[in-house]
Amino acid sequence: MHGANKAAFALVDCNNFYASCEKLFRPDLKYTPVVVLSNNDGCIVARSKEAKALGVKMGMPLFQAQAMIRQYGIVCFSSNYALYADLSNRVMTILEEEAPRLEVYSIDEAFLDLTGIEYVMDLLTFGKQLKAKVDKWTGITVGVGIAPTKTLAKLANEAAKRYPATGAVVDLMNPERQKRLLSLVDVSDVWGVGRRITERLRARGIRTALDLANANPRVIRSEFSVVLERTVQELNGVSCLDLELVRPTKQQIICSRSFGHRITEKQELREAIAKYTTRAAEKLRREKRLCRVVNVFIRTSPHAQGGRYGNALSVELPNPTDDTRDLLDVTEVLFCRLWRDGFRYMKGGVMLADFYEYGVYQQDLFRTNSMKTNSQALMKVVDRINHSGHGSVFFASQGVSPQWAMKRNHLSPAYTTKWEELPKVW
DNA sequence: TCTGGGGTCCTAGGACCC
DNA sequence: TCTGGGGTCCTAGGACCC
């Protein structure tokens, strides 16, 4: 290859991210097993190294883990997304300084484009320096996997985690090393291969990542999908997935939550739906979009012993809007049509879809413009107050002192918003 | 008693059009 | 005997991810 740089990606991933965030502010828990719970303290969604070693499983319902928690003195935290988002930003900022072309893939992971860096510095050395810098400046430890494709970078990152001798940094640019690692990895550990596809692959005798890499891409395409075909190419070092540098605008916005307790009163569920509508409208305005399709759903627990009920309704608005009041009008009507007496509701939510940019939509000629007077100015004020961290302006339909609010019995304090409480490392 | 939330992409099939 | 064929749009559902 003349003139063309060989593509190189790094995947940087924070170790046990939520649990690490909590521990950062609790040095007394340094060697204590810690878990972080999902909304409503329902499931375990993150585990510290110690908790993993004790056999606490990801996604385990809290009630099933209670015995272990007592037995081993595991410390539980309710999820505190404001804290995690803040620490994530710190990590991403440092990564961006070292490798400006980066894709923030999730709250605790980023892909970096390292193409060309090999001419300046050995990639393994670069990775080690990057890790050291993030560890030192944030107190969050990361693993780094480097490879010619994103899919291989993911595997390199897994290996960095699995083999302590690597110092949590693995350079998988070399094809021989790729083959050796692929032969050791179960096919289910490949990025993009989930439970279903694993089963189907196994039925065809494809068990390791190397088996999948050696499969015929055309056959994989016809028997599975173009998605899996790309995976095969990527495992062979042919890059098919580029960095997504600019976050594509959302196609839909969902606000839903399981309730802190089962809801049987219509008014209570109505308030919850209004609250989700309000939150969805905020997200919509942050995206700088108008929406045209609104969907509301409510349901009982799928595990409910008594009657089960679940239903959803959508409506298309005459004109796209981002006005909370327009959306509340609509979700209220949909909710009333969905509601049935006599069930114990567990969950409800609001979904917005069919987005438009400001001023770029076809007016409905047979209706007057439904945008309310001064709507933009008013919504801006409401958003500003709600993001100021002091109290909130809310719409009366949300109710004043909601009974349905999330259970968060183990919430950590708002560390990162109070300067005095920041740990020394910062 | 108690089981997360929020997304993405792809495909198949039906409706509709010319 | 033999019922057009191809394109587009939309939706539902499946599969995956963190």
Q: Does domain A174-247 have CATH number 1.10.150.20?
A: yes
Q: For residue A246, what are its two tokens?
A: 């600019």
Contacts for A187 with CB less than 8 Å, ≥ 6 apart: A193, A198, A201, A202, A206, A207, A208, A209, A211, A212
Lowest pLDDT segment from A75-79, A304-308, A386-390: A386-390
Q: What does each C-alpha distance from A301 to A306, A313, A336 come to in angstroms?
A: 10, 18, 20
Which residue ranges does chain A devote to CATH 3.30.70.270?
A: 1-173
CATH number of A252-398: 3.30.1490.100
Residue A335: pLDDT over 90: yes
Shortest CA distance to A201 belongs to which of A235, A210, A177?
A210
Q: Tell whether the model's pLDDT for residue A133 goes beyond 70.
A: yes
Per-residue pLDDT, A241: 93
Residue A342, CB, strand B, below 7 Å: no
* Residues carrying CATH 1.10.150.20, chain A: 174-247
Q: Which residue has the higher pLDDT, A234 or A249?
A: A234
* C1’ B14 / CA A16, Å: 46
Q: Where in chain A is the domain with CATH 3.30.1490.100?
A: 252-398
Q: Stated in angstroms, how far is A390 CA from B14 C1'?
A: 52
The two tokens of residue A54 are 């004790």
Evaluate if the CB of A42 falls below 7 Å from strand B: yes
Answer yes or no: is A346 CB < 7 A from strand B: yes
Poorest-confidence range of A17-26, A74-83, A305-314, A328-337?
A305-314
pLDDT tens for A19-69 read: 999 999 999 999 999 999 998 888 999 999 999 999 999 999 999 999 999
CATH pick for A1-173 out of 3.40.800.10, 3.40.50.300, 3.30.70.270, 3.30.420.40: 3.30.70.270
Higher pLDDT, A81 or A56: A56
* CA of residue A366 to C1' of nucleotide B17, angstroms: 25
pLDDT confidence bin for A248, thresholds 50/70/90: confident
Higher pLDDT, A406 or A295: A295
